[in-house]
């Protein structure tokens, strides 16, 4: 291994990483396990960070490398890596790891799925590095990340500061609306918890991460909860957003604060089934390449089957709209991956799409998650628990700058503070 490393890998530190397990976090340093993975920018090989040699080693050369925090030399000299992640496990070491990471699902037959862990994304492959605390797939425990951003002189801190016990209790106490309606049914949030063999909560899955089998062990209830998710925003969309003849203005995903940004305009067709998009206020210049969008709601999906998590095809009745609205858009889909359409999607999740002056109200985070009947609680509660309200809970939280991503200069010192790792048991 050493010969391979010395020949092919430059041993240059691109990030000096400090991991602090704060007093009263709920776990000792011996109980915190660290694993760093990423792609070596030299040959794009998926690699594990070797803590003994401070270098990335391809997974075909070495098995998974992880260490207890009390046995790691701090700061950790992290080399140049792209599409990289810092994994942190509590009480149990990692069993295995792939390039895509661990599956967060409820597949209890897989031992690693019972591990309490979380992850932080980063990229140190260029001089302008980034680090990104993320809860897009799931929330495991609370931590913060601090580093001096590019162009600034004082550290910026992002992350979740509320304790995991309080966060899980907040989800447990979401007001119930499970009397039967598909739209706005908050019963879906009680299905997001993942427990280990001790009945301790190890993580909370985001709704869009839920595999079909995750919704419930009972096949009938499983189908119902999956329907609740895909139709969650139906009433909000049809009764408040796609009102026949409605007109509104908004910025695209590419909005930059304190800059001159182009304003886009929308008009709902007279039958409420189509949203027409324009690049000018007189509505004479259709927006290209997406001049119109169909109403993102449909009849009951055929489940189980290929319609779950489906976002492709020309038949709107086969689209899993809840999954698509959560940010799962691809080129060629009915809504497509476009800066203008993406801004509309995330504004549905945030409960502000019905506001006509979107170029003012959609970018104001104080307006988010106040829509009665279809509040996206996963994002709402995590944003309320985060430093300055910034967290990656939605895939599209970078729209209008609601995300915690920090850009920093190579060789900077990055500090992760673990503040809430305590076990939580509802029984």
Comparison of pLDDT for 1 and 269, the residue scoring more: 269
pLDDT band at 334 (very low <50, low <70, confident <90, very high): confident
Of 138, 155, 137, residue with least CA distance to 146: 155
Query: ∠ CA 237-238-242 to the nearest 5 degrees?
Result: 80
Strand order across the beta sheet in which 263-268 lies: 247-251, 263-268, 274-278, 292-294
Pairing of strands 274-278, 263-268: antiparallel
pLDDT band at 62 (very low <50, low <70, confident <90, very high): low
Of 96, 305, 303, 328, residue with least CA distance to 209: 328
Q: Please give the pLDDT value at position 109.
A: 64
Lowest mean pLDDT among 24-38, 176-190, 222-236, 272-286: 176-190
pLDDT band at 335 (very low <50, low <70, confident <90, very high): confident
What is the distance between the alpha carbons of residues 17 and 411, in angstroms, rounded to a whole number?
A: 10
What is the distance between the alpha carbons of residues 90 and 35, in angstroms, rounded to a whole number?
A: 12
Q: Please give the pLDDT value at position 63.
A: 63
Q: Please give the pLDDT value at position 7.
A: 41
Comparison of pLDDT for 109 and 18, the residue scoring more: 18
Whether residue 3 has pLDDT greater than 50:
no
**What's phi and psi for 204, nearest 5 deg?**
-120, 115
Of 190, 194, 175, residue with least CA distance to 225: 190
pLDDT band at 382 (very low <50, low <70, confident <90, very high): very high
Strand order across the beta sheet in which 13-21 lies: 76-79, 13-21, 412-420, 142-147, 156-159
Q: What are 375's two structure tokens?
A: 């509040």
Of 306, 316, 313, 341, residue with least CA distance to 327: 341
What is the distance between the alpha carbons of residues 185 and 227, in angstroms, rounded to a whole number?
A: 10
Q: What is the arithmetic mean of pLDDT over 344-370?
A: 96
pLDDT band at 313 (very low <50, low <70, confident <90, very high): confident
Of 273, 314, 319, 272, residue with least CA distance to 299: 319
pLDDT band at 6 (very low <50, low <70, confident <90, very high): very low
- Name residues whose C-beta falls within 8 Å of residue 191's C-beta, 6 or more positions apart in sequence: 210, 214, 215, 216, 225
What is the distance between the alpha carbons of residues 151 and 73, in angstroms, rounded to a whole number?
A: 29
Q: What percentage of the chain carries pLDDT values higher than 70?
A: 93
Which residues does residue 275 pair with via DSSP β-bridges, in sequence order? 268, 293
Burial class (CB in 10 A: 0-12, 13-18, 19+), 206: buried
Distance of CA 197 to the CA centre of its chain: 26
Q: Please give the pLDDT value at position 398.
A: 95
Query: Which conformational region is residue 180 in: left (phi greater than 0), alpha (psi within -120 to 50 degrees), or beta?
Result: left
Which residues does residue 305 pair with via DSSP β-bridges, in sequence order? none
pLDDT digits 0-9 by tens, 275-305: 999 999 999 999 999 999 999 998 888 888 8
Q: Cβ(398)–Cβ(405) under 8 Å?
A: yes
Q: Please give the pLDDT value at position 150.
A: 94
What is the distance between the alpha carbons of residues 263 and 247, in angstroms, rounded to a whole number?
A: 13
Q: Please give the pLDDT value at position 117.
A: 94
What Å distances lie between residue 51 and 201, 380, 400, 415, 419, CA to CA?
30, 37, 38, 17, 23
Q: Which CATH number fits domain 2-165+401-420: 2.60.110.10, 1.10.3470.10, 3.10.129.10, 3.40.190.10?
A: 2.60.110.10
Comparison of pLDDT for 367 and 4, the residue scoring more: 367
Comparison of pLDDT for 423 and 315, the residue scoring more: 423
What is the distance between the alpha carbons of residues 230 and 210, in angstroms, rounded to a whole number?
A: 12
Residue reference for tokens 């969650």 = 232
Q: Cβ(338)–Cβ(289) under 8 Å?
A: yes
Q: What's this model's pTM, rounded to 2 decimal places? A: 0.93
pLDDT digits 0-9 by tens, 65-92: 889 999 999 999 999 999 999 999 999 9
| Ranges of each domain in the chain | 2-165+401-420, 234-375
């Amino acid at each position: 291994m050493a010969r391979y490393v010395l020949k092919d890998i430059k041993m240059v530190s691109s990030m000096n990483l400090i991991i602090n397990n704060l007093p009263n976090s709920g776990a000792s340093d011996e109980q915190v396990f660290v694993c760093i993975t990423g792609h070596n920018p030299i040959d794009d090989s998926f690699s594990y960070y070797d803590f003994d040699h401070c270098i990335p080693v391809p997974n075909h050369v070495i098995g998974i490398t992880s260490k207890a925090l009390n046995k790691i030399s701090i700061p950790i000299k992290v080399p140049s890596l792209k599409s990289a992640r810092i994994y942190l496990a509590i009480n149990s070491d990692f069993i295995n790891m792939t390039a895509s990471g661990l599956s967060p699902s409820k597949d209890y037959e897989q031992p690693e799925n019972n591990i309490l862990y979380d992850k932080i994304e980063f990229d140190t492959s260029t001089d302008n590095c980034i680090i990104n605390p993320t809860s897009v797939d799931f929330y495991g425990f609370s931590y913060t990340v601090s580093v001096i951003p590019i162009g600034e002189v004082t550290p910026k801190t992002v992350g979740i500061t509320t304790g995991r016990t309080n966060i899980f209790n907040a989800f447990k106490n979401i007001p119930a609306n499970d009397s039967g309606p598909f739209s706005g049914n908050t019963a879906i949030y009680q299905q997001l918890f993942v427990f280990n063999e001790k009945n301790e909560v190890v993580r909370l899955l985001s709704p869009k991460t839920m595999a079909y089998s995750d919704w419930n062990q009972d096949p009938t209830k499983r189908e119902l909860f999956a329907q609740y998710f895909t139709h969650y925003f139906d009433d909000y969309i049809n009764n408040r957003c796609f009102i026949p003849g409605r007109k509104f203005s908004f910025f695209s995903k590419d909005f930059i604060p304190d800059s001159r940004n182009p304003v886009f305009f929308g008009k709902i067709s007279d039958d409420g089934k189509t949203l027409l998009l324009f690049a000018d206020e007189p509505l004479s210049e259709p927006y290209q390449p997406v001049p119109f969008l169909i109403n993102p709601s449909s009849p009951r999906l055929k489940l189980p089957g290929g319609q779950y998590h489906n976002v492709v095809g020309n038949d709107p009745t086969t689209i899993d709209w809840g999954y698509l609205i959560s940010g799962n858009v691809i080129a060629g889909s009915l809504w497509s991956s476009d800066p203008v359409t993406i801004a509309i999607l995330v504004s549905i999740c945030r409960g502000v799409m019905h506001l006509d002056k979107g170029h003012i109200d959609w970018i104001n985070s104080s307006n988010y998650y106040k829509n009665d009947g279809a509040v996206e609680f996963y994002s709402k509660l995590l944003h309320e628990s985060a430093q300055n309200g910034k967290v990656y809970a939605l895939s599209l939280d970078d729209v209008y700058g609601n995300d915690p991503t920090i850009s920093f200069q190579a060789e900077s010192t990055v500090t992760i503070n673990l503040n809430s790792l305590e076990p939580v048991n509802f029984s």
